[in-house]
A = this chain, B = another copy of it.
Amino acid sequence: MNSYEKLTNAVVTSNSLLCVGLDSDIARMPESIEKNMDGILDFNIRIIEATAAYTAAYKINFAFYEQYGTPGFEILKKTIETVPTDKFIIADAKRGDIGNTSKSYAKSAFEYFNADALTVNPYMGSDSLKPFLEYEDKMIFILALTSNPGSADFQHLISDGEPLYINVIKKTSTYGNKNNSGYVVGATHPEELSRIREIIPEHFLLIPGIGTQGGDAKSILQANGDKPAIINVSRDIIYQSSLDIFAEAAAGRAKYYQELFNE
């Protein structure tokens, strides 16, 4: 089963377009959680258990673990090991380097951490992305139009009549196919989605930016229609409560998003 099939199955089985982002930060742990590495792992395990019924995927943002160095990487790996095997796991690390080096990043994400997919940065072009595509059963999500304010700085620069993010999608979609590549398109850009979907109607989109970042779920889903997509929510689910009931609160919020996205 390739990653496209695994993600499709995960969406169908959970009846959910939701991806829960585990941006777990020691400074934001609930009161009852120890403020150390064991605490973060305990928090992640309880969030995963509580939300699994409402989500197709989990996205692990590497930065939040790398900030603690080696012990952080240890709990990142352990967190991934506790995710139920039918859920899709996205290593959100935004990697990319010259070919020789990207091979090592691919080995890290796909072999050591055993993620189903990895987010990658297209700035360095074809040889920086192709080593990831050699893993036939894995997927990359290529940054196209990101959800943050800085996305306006370069991603909208017009060349040959199209913005950079469209030029990125046009060219990189020739490197692989829908089975091994998808795109990151922020929920903050519903008006740009129809042009994107003309070029890549079949690829999965990973849509961040709902919740804390202010993107509107209804607008982006209307623009996307019934094409393959998952929508990430991180902070607004995992930090829904700082009390003892944080896991139940996260489950409630995940269920809310599951239903909202199915409307």
Q: A68-B112, A69-B112, A153-B171 given. 18 additional CB < 8 A pairs? A: A25-B104, A63-B101, A64-B104, A67-B105, A73-B73, A94-B95, A94-B96, A98-B146, A98-B148, A98-B150, A99-B148, A121-B124, A122-B154, A125-B153, A125-B154, A126-B149, A126-B150, A158-B159
Count of identical protomers in the assembly: 2
Complex contact B104–A63 (CB within 8 A): yes
Asked if B167 and A154 sit within 8 Å, CB to CB, the answer is yes
Q: Which residues of B contact A160 (CB under 8 A)?
A: 157
A125 and B150 contacting across the interface, CB-CB below 8 Å: yes
A51 to B157, CA, bound (A): 43
Chain B residues in 8 Å Cβ range of A69: 73, 77, 108, 112-113
A152 on the B face (CB < 8 A): yes
Say yes or no: A124-B101 contact (C-beta < 8 A), given A69-B113, A74-B70, A154-B171.
no
| Top 3 A-B residue pairs of the complex, sorted by shortest distance between their CB atoms | A125-B150, A125-B153, A63-B104
A121 and B98 CA atoms in complex are apart in Å by 13
Kindly state whether residue A34 has any CB partner on chain B within 8 Å.
no
Total interface residues on A, using CB and 8 Å?
58
CB distance from A252 to the nearest CB of B (A): 24
In this complex, what residue of B is CB-closest to A157?
B159
Give A74's nearest chain B residue, CB to CB.
B70
Q: Could you give 16 example pairs across A and B, Cβ below 8 Å?
A: A23-B100, A61-B101, A63-B105, A68-B112, A73-B73, A94-B96, A96-B121, A98-B146, A98-B150, A121-B123, A124-B148, A125-B149, A125-B150, A127-B150, A154-B164, A157-B159
**A14 interface residue per 8 A CB criterion:** no
Alpha-carbon separation in the docked complex, A98 to B153 (Å): 13
Closest B residue to A61 by beta carbon equals: B101
Question: Hey, what's the 0/1 contact readout for A69-102 against B, CB within 8 Å counting as 1?
Answer: 1100110010000000000000000111111111
Nearest CB of chain B from residue A60's CB, rounded to whole Å? 12
User: A81 to chain B: closest CB distance in Å?
Assistant: 12
A127, B104: Cβ atoms closer than 8 Å: no
Closest Cβ of chain B to A100, distance in Å, is 8
